[in-house]
Structure 1
Amino acid sequence: MNPSFKALDGTRTHLVNQLVFFDEQYPFFADTYLLGLTYHDRRMMDALLRKYTAGLISLLANEDTALQEKLHQVVLIGSSVKVEFEEDGSTDLFTVVYPTESDPDNNRISFISPIGRQLLCAECNSPLVLEVPDGTQRIHVREIKYAYIGGFDDQ
């Protein structure tokens, strides 16, 4: 078996585990991590997670070659995302992770953070207008790499 396709077995497992988590543990997740959100933000997060899980189901239906290609086309929990800021052309790299694994000093951002939820499900080479505390920033998603091995800690 091709080593890159063998690695996809682990990737499939991680993506399936995300689906299982959101299916079986959503009430726990919502009560733990979404409690402080406004009603509007909570509804937006619910809709985003429905979109995300539907996207995962569609993604997992692909054969290995197509899956490997698609992992570089859409931002998932576990994706490293290279963004280019339109204003000055600078770039930054973020990894979108679960809330328990966020580390802003190392650009590991939770998918429920303001920037994380705007990046989740974004597509490669797509422009975005990020809402940030001091206004907006126009960015382009330039590169996506999926290489995730984490998950929520059992609590």
Structure 2
Amino acid sequence: MNHSLILQSSTTQLVNQLVFFDEEKKFFLMQYISDDSKEQKRADQILSVYTTSLEKIISERQEGSLNSMVLIGSEVTLRYEDDGYEEKYTIVFPHRADPSKSWISFLSPMGLQLLMTKMNETYEFVVPSGHIGVKIQEIKYMNYGDIDK
């Protein structure tokens, strides 16, 4: 498959995400997040920033933009600062999450923290045992950002 076709397919998928969040965000968040209004508000704010980022990426229409930050549908390689261990995750919609494939929901605690991170940047993530430093080693948009249920 040539790069132009991949870029077109990826752009279509990102546009579909924009439309979905524009039309369904409130219902979607109620479906996946408990009645905790604080948690829903946080996810809503993150998704508002996310959709603004998507609009910018779509307007640029460049493959490099697709891999500039972690999106829903991205495979991200991170390196733990304390021991150098590397791990890959693919960020997906909740209905596609599959731990056996390292596909994690963007609404999971780790998924929300990874969403919109940038390559070669170091972040401090909150984990059950405290805080952990991670560096984003690589980001690849893998076309796993579909919204079909």
Q: Same fold (TM over 0.5)?
A: yes
Q: CA deviation at 1:133?
A: 1.1
Within 5 A, what are the aligned runs for 1:100-115? 100-115=95-110
1:51-103 per-position Cα deviation (integer Å, ceiling 9, x unaligned): 0000000111113xxx2011221000000000000000010000000000011
Q: Which has the higher contact order (CA 8 A, sep 6+)?
A: 2
In 2: Cα distance, 1:56 partner to 1:153 partner? 18
Alignment size in residue pairs:
149
Give the letter for the 2:3 counterpart: S
Equivalent position of 2:39 in the other structure: 41
Q: Deviations over 1:21-72 (max 9, x none)?
A: 10111132022112x1633222211110000000000111113xxx201122
65, 68, 75: which one aligns with 1:80: 75
In structure 2, do the counterparts of structure 1 residues 149 and 134 end up closer, same or farther at CA, with 3 Å as the change threshold? closer
Q: Which runs of 5+ in 2 are unaligned?
A: none
Q: 1:147 aligns with which of 139, 142, 148?
A: 142
Task: Report the CA distance between 1:150 and its aligned residue.
Answer: 4.8
TM score, norm. by length of structure 1: 0.90
Rate the CA distance shift 1:29–1:20 in 2: closer, same or farther, 3 A.
same
Q: How does 1:61-100 map onto structure 2 within 5 Å?
A: 61-63=59-61, 67-100=62-95
1:125-154 CA-partner distances (Å, limit 9, x unpaired):
111111111111110001000011453344
Give RMSD over aligned pairs.
1.5
Contact 2:79–2:135, Cα closer than 8 Å, also in 1: yes
Preserved contact between residue 16 and residue 147 of structure 2 (Cα < 8 Å): no
Q: 2:56 aligns with which of 55, 58, 61?
A: 58
Counterpart position of 2:26? 27
TM-score, structure 2 normalization: 0.94
Unaligned ranges ≥5, structure 1: none
Return closer, same or farther for 1:10/1:83 CA change in 2, 3 Å cut-off.
same
